[in-house]
Amino acid sequence: QKEVEQDPGPLSVPEGAIVSLNCTYSNSAFQYFMWYRQYSRKGPELLMYTYSSGNKEDGRFTAQVDKSSKYISLFIRDSQPSDSATYLCAMRGALMEYGNKLVFGAGTILRVKS
């Protein structure tokens, strides 16, 4: 079983829809959670970075962490065709124990249709 599970999709939605992207994980020691967006033939770009549980909002994007359920989500409001990309979740434990080593999900392909 993978440490981080992420539905590969593709997820296809109409423009303007609310998108929910999710990851589950098995290691309760994970404390730092990230979402990256990766366009075709480009490197991953950091979207959201959160510590521990709770919500973080940045424009149309909201990251949510539920450590009790070992579940993280990324919500995209008013989705646009330019949001079409692969979304990667990533996470890691405390620096002293795990260093900077990230564990990634396999990525979800999102397609927003105009």
Partner 1 sequence: DVKVTQSSRYLVKRTGEKVFLECVQDMDHENMFWYRQDPGLGLRLIYFSYDVKMKEKGDIPEGYSVSREKKERFSLILESASTNQTSMYLCASSLGGNQPQHFGDGTRLSIL
- Can you give the binding site for partner 1, defined by CB under 8 A? 6, 8, 32, 34, 36, 41-46, 49, 51, 88, 90, 95, 99-102, 104-107
Token output for 108: 């979800």
Other residues' Cβ atoms within 10 Å of the Cβ of residue 109: 16
Least separation in angstroms between CB 32 and partner 1? 6
Nearest one of 18, 29, 27, 19 to 87, comparing CA atoms: 19
Q: How far is the CB of 43 from partner 1 (least distance, A)?
A: 4
Q: Which residue lies nearer to partner 1 by CB, 13 or 102?
A: 102
| Identity of the residue, 41 or 68, whose beta carbon is nearer to partner 1 in the bound complex | 41
Q: In Å, how far are 64, 65, 91 from 56, measured between CA atoms?
A: 7, 9, 15
